[in-house]
A and B are shown apart, each in its own frame.
Chain A
């Protein structure tokens, strides 16, 4: 909760303070979601600094994007947000004319970013767990939603109105994009039952850095790839692991976009093009152990990476996965209120 109220304040400070004469690009992005070396290289080439501003939930990011006064130049969004903010004109329309490296990306990927973003990285949602605390790896959303008594108060959930619903809705066998109020009510019931076991509703990457709770989290809802960040943050290589439940999951795609009213839109487009280029994209994917959407970059990756199921999910997992789709206004409102209630009244 503290992190949550602090972040908008932090953002505001940073955004207004960085209106400095020296050229700087503000990149709104998940923490540890880009290889710093690549940014450094670009800065050394162009002399433009790239300043990362972190968010830890899609809702927080959307809140910033919705503020017309924000100084964000580039942003990593989800498929839905790319569509929403793209349609609204908050995000610059992208094609090969302003971002040449888009040519390396399949049309299917580009469509999911609604033509407003460069398909950045993709992956799944699943259960992150500490292998030293759990005797067996979780196999079902049941393990997260109805945790064993030993895991009570050792679970971290996630207060995002989209992703937080993946677990209960998958468990219920429903579409993760449902707008049905009664289905959401059933999901809410599940989540309420889980609430007493939940230690925090803060995104695991943030909460692992909160000394008050970090040691007590044994299991969390998260994204593929997060286990590497967690192991790095906690200094426990190999301890944190990632599992995709058998019920299926969300298959997500992050898009990197340029904010339409950016003061340095050209520089931002240039950075985006650089990041989307095969070399950068491949390096980034390697550094983060995540799959890239660039054909050219994919080709650059070593074979063992390309065939690693921990990085590239197996086809049967992907077969059971669902993509994010735009939700109805009521559904969004309801989901927000549900997650807000859970986080508030835990």
Chain B
């Protein structure tokens, strides 16, 4: 329902009720005065009728006087010859009578009566030429002859008769004058009768109007409640008119109807007026505003038009305008923030993707080129950890500002379109520049960015040891879509990072191949069935006596697609892509299943060493898996040694410690692998209790080559001090063996002893070794005896 209709529905009953109330009030107050007015009107009309009646009496009297004064009547009366009187004088008298009438068709009669009531002459001007003097008039004549009156007027109005005023006059036929009462018996009675037409008309009109007849009676009106009036017409003659209450009620009903009609008409007019005014001054402005807002909503217009209205509507318009402005502003803000990296204020990854995709498309479409520089901050995590996030954030902000400055300066100088700069993630930035190939823009930008990190990066007058690695990829040379472009630049960045910090690298074919192989390895790892492609080889460990004390299970992968893939190549990939759990769990199970065979070859005390990625130890599940496999293959925990590369200690966490403790408590042995290759501190060796430490083959080679026997001795002594057995790895020369033996090393492992062998080959190795061992022993015994001897 719109406002106009609502206003109509609200206003109409109120206005109508108001006018009806007013009409009722008017009716109540006016009905009394209307009654009085009606009474006055009635009286006045009756008075008028009475005056007309008097006039008619006068007329009849005038007729009589005219006849008396003229000589036709006199001649007629005095003529004694009846025939002559009738023929000659009658016509004169008749003409005289008729000449008195204004209207020749009007009624008038003249009667001459003797005292014996004999009709001497009768003429009446009417449709009936045969009419005779009627009984009523004769009765009147009879009464008048009896009475003393010599002149009289009487109104004869009996029903069924012609109503007429009869003027009677006694006339002495000789003296032609009024007779003396004594001579009345000889006198003629002259009667002139007229019909009071005007009075009758009036009577009829009154009857028609009031619905009741005038009552003629010899007495005036008795006082009644009715609307009535009475007038005096003559001696003993009163005209009374009583209006029936129905007539008055009808009158009032008519007035009521008129008032009601007026009220309704006024209501309609008022409402029309009000609606017009409301529409003009209230609803139309609102409707206009509504249309305005609607136009903005459907997008036909950007802004709500100012309607230049005053008052509430003006304010409402202004407020809606303001609200709309604020909404638009907020929307812009939200849009911007969704595109903007909150920390640095430059574009975020989403925005970059959107912008860069457009640039790439344009470049390809225009057969132009564009270059993406992928920038990664080296050691940022170090700064963040060491100096706190505030400094880290500040560094990123400063960096973003400076990169933007440098890049803008370069593109501006070169007259190129502005480059797109974005922060892709934590410490990764990207610059997309629309460069022509070979113009050195990429090199210049790379150089400019790298120069920011010379001697560390300066933030708030302090220098922090961070550098940048930049990878560059060019579209469409290196990639034809943005995703690929980013990936390739990223790869180039890694290339740069791995080849040393603070340098840049261009994406290359080799890099591409490397990445392709990496991806292939990843794909194969993800899809392979370990039982089909993986197999284990074992590398025995021997003690100083040459006895095999244990074997280290080593994973080998032969892929039908890639051929042999070395653990050095696929293990880091597996670790980085989260696939190693699957491999580890397979290795654990597989190695333990072979354990029985190993024990059969080398004795029940043979220890099986299994390499576990330190990352696995963060999960509690590995411990359960160990226990499950142990049970499955009927082994004892002390037969299993878990080898952890020393790097684990660097990320030594509580969970890791708890998992290791749990494994140890279950009876598993623990060894630290590749000791001396990484950053393991002596402190950690002291703190941490392992069963075995395996010296890294590089360390062994170094120390052997430099003849650092004392160092080796001290190191081994240190381990022994902690009650840890020491295994020398990479024993591939007798020199290494003799030196380590001299230094007090407990166990030896290496190609000198045996290369890693499948378990079947290991069995053969074990047999030959036993045979040789026996030969050697015999030889040794012989030598000993010779020496003793």
Contact = CB atoms under 8 A, between A and B. Distances in A.
A and B co-occur in one complex: yes
B86 A66 contact: no
Given A66-B89, A68-B75, A345-B127, A340 B84 contact: no
B83 A84 contact: yes
Contacts of A328: 86
Given A326-B83, A338-B129, A85 B105 contact: no
Interface in A36-95: 59, 62-63, 65-68, 80, 84-85, 87-88
Interface stretch (A247-255, A279-287, A297-305, A329-337): A329-337
B316 interface: no
Contacts, number: 79
Point out which of A59, A188, A338 has the most chain B C-beta atoms below 10 A from its C-beta. Answer: A59
Contact of B130 (A65, A185, A336, A345): A185
B279 interface: no
B730 interface: no
Interface in B92-107: 92, 94-95, 98-99, 104-105
Contact of A345 (B82, B95, B105): B105
Given A66-B91, A340-B98, A329 B85 contact: yes
B88 interface: yes
B392 interface: no
Contact of B104 (A1, A8, A84, A337): A1
Nearest to B131: A337
A333 B90 contact: yes
Nearest to A329: B86
Contact of B91 (A59, A87, A341): A59
A59 B88 CA distance: 8
A102 B188 CA distance: 45
Nearest to B127: A345
B88 A181 contact: no
Interface string A151-187: 0000000000100000000000000000001000100
A188 B95 CA distance: 20
A108 interface: no
Contacts of B126: 341
Contacts of B212: none
A5 interface: yes
Point out which of A161, A329, A336, A337 has the most chain B C-beta atoms below 10 A from its C-beta. Answer: A337
A203 to B, nearest CB: 16
B125 interface: yes
B92 A67 contact: yes
Interface residues of B, number: 27
Contact of A332 (B87, B98, B105): B87
B127 A62 contact: no
A125 B82 CA distance: 29
B148 interface: no
A344 interface: yes
Contacts of B89: 66
A334 B94 CA distance: 12
Interface in B122-177: 123-130
B110 to A, nearest CB: 12
A68 B79 CA distance: 12
Given A1-B104, A88-B81, A336-B94, A65 B88 contact: yes
B272 to A, nearest CB: 60
Interface in A312-326: 326
A90 to B, nearest CB: 8
Contacts of A336: 90-91, 94
A344 B126 CA distance: 9
A84 B127 CA distance: 29
Contact of A5 (B81, B99, B128): B99
A63 B91 contact: yes
A183 B94 CA distance: 23
Point out which of B75, B83, B124, B126 has the most chain A C-beta atoms below 10 A from its C-beta. Answer: B83
B98 A88 contact: no
Contact of B94 (A5, A68, A340): A340
B84 A88 contact: yes
A2 to B, nearest CB: 11
Interface string B317-337: 000000000000000000000
Contacts of B104: 1, 344
Given A84-B83, A87-B84, A326-B83, A341 B129 contact: yes
Contacts of B92: 63, 66-67
A1 to B, nearest CB: 7
Contacts of B83: 84, 87, 326, 329
Contacts of B123: 333, 337
B120 to A, nearest CB: 11
A66 B79 CA distance: 11
B303 to A, nearest CB: 90
Interface in B57-99: 75, 81-92, 94-95, 98-99
Contacts of B82: 329
Contacts of B86: 328-330, 332-333
B87 A340 contact: no
Contacts of A67: 92
Given A62-B88, A88-B84, A337-B130, 19 more contacts: A62-B87, A62-B91, A66-B91, A84-B84, A84-B87, A85-B88, A88-B81, A185-B130, A326-B83, A329-B87, A332-B86, A333-B86, A333-B123, A336-B90, A336-B94, A338-B129, A341-B129, A344-B105, A344-B125
Interface of B: 75, 81-92, 94-95, 98-99, 104-105, 123-130
11 contacts: A68-B75, A85-B84, A85-B88, A87-B83, A185-B130, A326-B83, A329-B83, A336-B91, A336-B94, A337-B123, A340-B125
